[in-house]
Structure 1
């Protein structure tokens, strides 16, 4: 079972993301889903920047 997951890891991730997007679009509609996705990208970008620069690591030491 673990070999199966390792062999098809990225297709499984893609399928899960596709399923999540479909549920969001059906539940909230296209524009609200797009709004959520835009803020997710902004949050991921901010988190990556904070991790890369180490701003919070220096603050909490």
Structure 2
């Protein structure tokens, strides 16, 4: 466990790199780029809705 705590970020980075490599080989480069863009867009919209409180206002009206 001490080894993981010592090299936590390189291990996490390696796992993320492995997942990205598998995505490139299975779905292709441009589809993966589109996937990451859509995920980023979804995160942006979710954060916007959370910060503005639009969803909470809609819930209170019902």
TM-score of the pair, normalised by structure 1? 0.73
Output the CA distance in 2 between the equivalents of 1:4 and 1:52. 39
- Residue segments in structure 1 that go unaligned for 5+ positions in a row: none
How many angstroms does 1:58 deviate by?
1.1
How many angstroms does 1:19 deviate by?
2.2
How many aligned residue pairs are there? 60
| Superposed CA RMSD | 2.0
Q: Which has the higher contact order (CA 8 A, sep 6+)?
A: 1
How many angstroms does 1:17 deviate by?
2.5
- Residue segments in structure 2 that go unaligned for 5+ positions in a row: none
